């Protein structure tokens, strides 16, 4: 497994690398937190990112927030300072899991697996949200088309004393003659009507 480690001091780099090694993982990439690690992670796309810091600061939380929408890899944060509020803030920002205080090597493997599982679940949720957005946009587009067609029918009915069916058939003929979609013909008719009415 390709593991990247981001650390805020050498002590945390060494202890976290040893912790991962004891759990059966090797660190393939290591970055000091003040370096441009985010760009490197985007380029190298590791299997998992481990961030080892005393406590996540606002800058790191913002980076995690930006990172989560790109869904590059699972993220586990090791916060060496044990504070109750850290886990919630860090995970809301975008980490897949957050461990505070000391951790035993035998628990590290389960934390890595939990992190990877949460990441997969989050990916599925992001995919479902994206599909829902697309469906909503498609529905909105169809509703707008229907509204414009109805409005154009109304214009034809008022101007030429047509029935609703006749107005609809007239729009369809115009669409076929011009090779445009029905909604586009309707919008063109509305635009012409607006120009003529001024």
Q: Residue 155, Cβ neighbours under 10 Å: how many? A: 19
What per-residue confidence (pLDDT) applies to 197? 82
Q: Which of 46, 80, 103 is the last residue of a domain?
A: 103
What per-residue confidence (pLDDT) applies to 55? 95
Q: Which of 103, 124, 154 is the last residue of a domain?
A: 103
Domains held by the chain: number: 2
pTM value? Answer: 0.74
What per-residue confidence (pLDDT) applies to 103? 83
Provide the CATH number for the domain around residue 147.
1.10.10.10
Splitting the chain (198 residues) into consecutive groups of 10 residues, what average pLDDT does each group show? 96 95 93 94 94 96 86 93 89 93 86 92 89 96 96 94 95 96 96 86
Residues 6+ apart with CB under 8 A from 179: none
Which of 59, 51, 69 lies closest to 12, judged by CA? Answer: 51
What per-residue confidence (pLDDT) applies to 40? 92
Q: Which of 85, 103, 121 is the last residue of a domain?
A: 103
The answer to whether residues 146 and 99 belong to one domain is no
The answer to whether residue 189 is domain-embedded is yes
Residues 6+ apart with CB under 8 A from 112: 23, 25, 48, 76
The answer to whether residues 75 and 144 belong to one domain is no
12 neighbors 54 (Cβ within 8 angstroms): yes
The answer to whether residues 140 and 99 belong to one domain is no
The answer to whether residues 139 and 91 belong to one domain is no
Domain assignment of residue 93, given as a range: 3-103
- Ramachandran area for residue 28 (φ above 0: left; ψ -120 to 50: alpha; else beta): alpha
* Contacts of range 90-95, beta carbons closer than 8 Å, 24 or more positions apart: 90/56, 90/61, 90/64, 93/56, 93/60, 93/61, 93/62, 93/64, 93/65, 93/68, 94/64, 94/65, 94/66, 94/67, 94/68, 95/51, 95/64
The answer to whether residues 94 and 144 belong to one domain is no
């Amino acid at each position: 497994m390709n593991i990247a480690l981001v650390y805020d001091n050498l002590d945390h780099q060494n202890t976290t690398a040893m912790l991962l090694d004891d759990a059966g993982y090797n660190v393939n990439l290591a970055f000091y937190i003040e370096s441009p690690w985010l760009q490197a992670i985007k380029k190298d796309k590791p299997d998992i990112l481990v961030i080892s810091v005393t406590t996540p600061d606002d800058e790191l939380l913002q980076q995690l927030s930006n990172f989560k929408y790109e869904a590059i890899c699972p993220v586990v944060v090791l916060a060496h300072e044990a504070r109750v509020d850290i886990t919630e803030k860090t995970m809301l920002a975008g980490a897949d899991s957050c461990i505070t205080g000391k951790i035993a090597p035998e628990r590290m493997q389960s934390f890595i697996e939990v992190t990877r599982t949460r990441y997969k679940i989050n990916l599925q949720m992001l995919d479902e949200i994206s599909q829902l957005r697309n469906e909503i946009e498609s529905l909105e587009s169809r509703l707008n088309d229907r509204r414009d067609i109805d409005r154009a029918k109304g214009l034809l009915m008022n101007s030429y004393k047509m029935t609703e069916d006749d107005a609809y058939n007239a729009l369809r003929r115009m669409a076929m003659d011009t090779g445009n979609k029905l909604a586009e013909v309707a919008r063109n008719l509305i635009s012409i009507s607006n120009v003529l009415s001024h």
